Structure formats: C-alpha cells, structure tokens
Amino acid sequence: MHRRTPGQAMSSGIAALTALVLASPSAFAAWDLNLPVGVTPISRIVYDLHMLILWICVAIGIVVFGVMFISIMRHRKAVGAQAARFHHSTFAEIAWTVIPIVILVTMAVPATTTLIKMEDTTDADLTVKVTAYQWMWKYEYIEDGVTVYSTLAPSSRQAIYEDPTKVENYLLEVDNPIVFPVDRKVRLLLTADDVIHAWWVPELGQKKDAIPGFINEMWTLIKEPGVYRGQCAELCGKDHGFMPIVVRAASEDEYRAWVAERKMAQAEQAALAMHSWEKTELMALGEKVYVTACATCHQLDGDGIAGAFPSIRGSEVATGGLQDHLKLVMDGRAGTAMRAFGAQLSDVELAAVVTYQRNAFGNATGDVVQPAVISAARNLNTGG
C-alpha cells in the first residue's frame, strides 16, 4: 500500500506538462525570454550590463541554494542527523558581509560609467520634441520644421474586440510613424500636455517619462535601418495600453525625402483651410476626426460612459452656443481627461469635428462651421 506524497505527485505532474510543451515546437515561436540587444551603442552596453548582473545573480543563487540543498539532503532528522549547537561564527559573518560588498562594487563601476554616457545629451545632430497626450504622441522636428501626430492605427483599434491575431503588429502600429536618420545623434525633448506618460522603444535601450510642466531629455543613435516599435510605459488612463510608438530608422537621403513629403502635406492642409467647405464634406471628415480623437472617451455612438466621460448626444455643449462649444474643444477642461484640441488639430479638422458633433447623434443644430471660424477664434484667443 504505497501512498504518494503531494511532492511526488506534483513533480510527476510537472514532468508530464513539460513533455507536453516540448512536444509542440511551433509553440515556441513567441516565447521570448530576454531583453532585446537593441540597435544603438547604448542599448548594447545596457544589454551586456543586464547579462552581467543576471549571471552574477545566477552564480550567487547556485552557491546559496546549493548549500541549502545539501543541508536539506544531509542534515535531516530522517537520515539520523544530530543537531549541532553552534549559533555564531565571527569569521563567517565578516566574510558574508565583505564578499557581497566587493561584488556590489564590481557591479557599480560599469553601471556608473554607462549612466554617465546615457545622460550626456550634448552634440546632438537633430532635436525632436515629443509631447504626449491622452492618448497620442506629437513629434516636432525642431530644425526641420516638421510636426507629426502619431496615434494607434485604425487596423489595430478595430481588432480589439474582434480577432487581434489577424492584424499585423497588433497594438504596435500607428497611423503616422516617425523617421530618424541612422548614425545621427537624435536628442529627444519629452513633455506632456495632460498626465504623465513615458516614451519607450525597447530596441533603443532607454525610456523616459513625459511630464506636464517639465522637459526631460534623452538621446539615441540608431546604427541599423529598420522599424522599431514601442509604447507608452507609464499608466496614463483608459487607453494607456493603446498608445504605440513606431520609429523608422532610414538613411539620411530617405530621411530628407520624408521631411520634404511631410512639409508638402502640411502646406496642403494650410491651403484646405482657406476655402469654404460643403456641409457633407465637413461631416465626412468630421466623422473620421471624431473616431480617432473623440470616440475613445465619448464612444462611437456619442453616449460617453456614465460618470466618467459625458455624452455628446443632446449635450448642452454640443446643442448650445457655438462659441462655448469651440472654446471647450480647443481649450479643454482642466482637471479632466478633456484635453485642449486647439493645438493638436488643424483648423479644417476642428471645423469638421465640431460640425459633426453639432449635427450627428440627433444633435440637429444645422450649424456649419468653416475653418475660417476656427482661425478667427484662434486670433481672438491670442489677441485677448
């Protein structure tokens, strides 16, 4: 009559599970275990430092747990061990205080030199100011005069409640990726408009918080062309998990071509704001802007989420005075998730989305807001 102990039963269970996992090699496709080595000189140093500390910990673990394991095997009553009476050893106690200190110092030296390199943001070739919003990124290329807004790609957003496996780069794709030239030191200036966010692309080897009222600095120098993906790393509210970053590293020529293309698009936008728009055009564009800028909180059907995000359907703002509505959308409401869209959206987009809000969801105000009205409102603000 042999009854197995729970320990024995459990270990045979684990063996069976392990065999099951090992039997399906295809399942290993995405079983990533470790930090990426990355594509910047710093990221490689950081990776080496990570591995150094990891192996030191493994070595200490083998010694400490090894001694413990030997003790458990040999010094058990079941094998007839007699308890010794010692409870003190000055030599041992000094040794296991001094040896760890020596190990810590050997870790601290490379850590310190690496940190000094990482914090040196001088002599940058170009500067990009990154502003974080709930829930998108704005990139301003200071020298080249390019501004890019970057938010979760619609393909990913549509898949959230459907089948994420059907989408390429689910949650790590944006509508407008940014481009950094390779072999150039890029300095990033990070700040935020509403709450604290953090900018992190693992392959670049570093992350930094974007904090309202502060400008933080970090730098990167990408050695290999390619597309590198990351996301916001500081809890920033409801859509914190839906705020990806995509950086394309390209040659200097490709970077120049991209800058020229972006500038052309910006000029086209400015021209669009000059002419008068039909209501149907505004409604069509307004719906698109609404889906990317407003719907995460106020929901696609305009009903909001009770208690957290107000409804737009039949709301006092969207069916009341136009100037109050414009002011709220452009300036936001302090202390809430309603941010100031005046700086993020163009005149055309603002005109379109306000027109849409005042005529969709049964809000039949009939108002048509032209881009010129928006630019007038902007002038009024700066003038006042």
Partner 1 sequence: MSTSYGAHADDHHGPEPGLLRWLFTTNHKDIGTLYLWFALIMFFVGGFLAMGIRAELFMPGLQVMDPHLFNQFTTMHALIMIFGAVMPAFVGFANWLVPMMVGAPDMALPRLNNWSFWILPFAFTLLIGTFFLPGGAPAAGWTIYPPLVLQGGANVAFMVFAIHMMGISSIMGAINIIVTILNMRAPEMTLLRMPLFVWTWLITAFLLIAAMPVLAGAVTMLLTDKFFGTSFFNAAGGGDPVMFQHVFWFFGHPEVYILILPAFGIVSQIIPTFARKPLFGYESMVYATASIAFISFIVWAHHMFTVGMPLSGELFFMYTTMLIAVPTGVKVFNWIATMWRGAMTFETPMLWAIAFVVLFTIGGFSGLMLAITPVDFQYHDTYFVVAHFHYVLVTGAIFAIIAGVYYWLPKWTGHMYNERLGKWHFWLSTVSVNVLFFPQHFLGLAGMPRRIPDYAVQFTDWNMVSSIGGFAFGLSQLLFVYILVQTIRGGERAADRVWEGAHGLEWTVASPPPYHTFEKPPRVTEAEAHG
Residue list 320-379, contact with partner 1 (CB under 8 A):
334-337
Q: Does 260 bind partner 1 (CB under 8 A)?
A: no
Rule CB under 8 A: which of 30-49 touch partner 1?
30-36, 45-46, 49
Helix (H, G, I), strand (E, B) or coil at 311: coil
What is d(CA 80, CA 246) in angstroms, rounded to the nearest whole number?
64
Return the number of the residue (132 or 285) whose C-beta is nearest partner 1. 132
* Residue from 26, 97, 122, 382 in contact with partner 1 (CB under 8 A): 97
Q: Does 207 bind partner 1 (CB under 8 A)?
A: yes
What is d(CA 193, CA 157) in angstroms, rounded to the nearest whole number?
23
Number of residues in contact with partner 1 under rule CB under 8 A: 109
Shortest approach of partner 1 to residue 47 CB, angstroms?
8
Q: Decide if 224 contacts 242 (C-beta within 8 A).
A: no
Q: Decide if 129 contacts 189 (C-beta within 8 A).
A: yes
Shortest approach of partner 1 to residue 326 CB, angstroms?
21
Helix (H, G, I), strand (E, B) or coil at 274: helix
Token pair listed for 80: 């007839």
Tell me which residue has tokens 């107000």.
310
Q: Does 82 bind partner 1 (CB under 8 A)?
A: yes
Which stretch in 109-117, 125-133, 260-268, 368-376 sits in contact with partner 1 by CB under 8 A? Answer: 109-117
* Residue from 20, 67, 260, 380 in contact with partner 1 (CB under 8 A): 67
Q: Does 300 bind partner 1 (CB under 8 A)?
A: no
* Residue from 12, 15, 61, 265 in contact with partner 1 (CB under 8 A): 61
Residue 147's identity, in one-letter code, is T
Q: Which long-range contacts (CB under 8 A, 24 or more apart) does 285-291 make?
A: 285/348, 285/349, 285/352, 286/352, 286/353, 286/354, 286/355, 286/356, 286/357, 286/360, 287/356, 287/360, 288/352, 289/345, 289/349, 289/352, 289/353, 289/356, 290/353, 290/356, 290/357, 290/360, 291/154
* Residue from 1, 2, 5, 25 in contact with partner 1 (CB under 8 A): 5
* Residue from 18, 22, 93, 267 in contact with partner 1 (CB under 8 A): 93
Q: How far apart, in Å, are the Cα atoms of 171 and each of 56, 168, 220, 240, 382?
A: 35, 9, 23, 11, 38
Helix (H, G, I), strand (E, B) or coil at 31: coil
First to last CA, the chain: 93
What is d(CA 305, CA 312) in angstroms, rounded to the nearest whole number?
10
Burial class (CB in 10 A: 0-12, 13-18, 19+), 227: middle
Shortest approach of partner 1 to residue 145 CB, angstroms?
26
What is d(CA 140, CA 193) in angstroms, rounded to the nearest whole number?
14
Q: Does 196 bind partner 1 (CB under 8 A)?
A: yes
* Residue from 220, 231, 357, 363 in contact with partner 1 (CB under 8 A): 231
Shortest approach of partner 1 to residue 154 CB, angstroms?
16
Shortest approach of partner 1 to residue 298 CB, angstroms?
13
Q: Does 150 bind partner 1 (CB under 8 A)?
A: no
* Residue from 125, 144, 209, 331 in contact with partner 1 (CB under 8 A): 209
Token pair listed for 99: 């040896």
Shortest approach of partner 1 to residue 27 CB, angstroms?
7
Q: Does 211 bind partner 1 (CB under 8 A)?
A: yes
Q: Does 304 bind partner 1 (CB under 8 A)?
A: no
Which stretch in 236-244, 253-261, 311-319, 359-367 sits in contact with partner 1 by CB under 8 A? Answer: 236-244
Rule CB under 8 A: which of 151-190 touch partner 1?
159-165, 169-172, 190
Which stretch in 92-100, 139-147, 245-253, 348-356 sits in contact with partner 1 by CB under 8 A? Answer: 92-100
Q: Does 83 bind partner 1 (CB under 8 A)?
A: yes
Rule CB under 8 A: which of 113-132 touch partner 1?
114-116, 118-119
What is d(CA 61, CA 163) in angstroms, rounded to the nearest whole number?
42
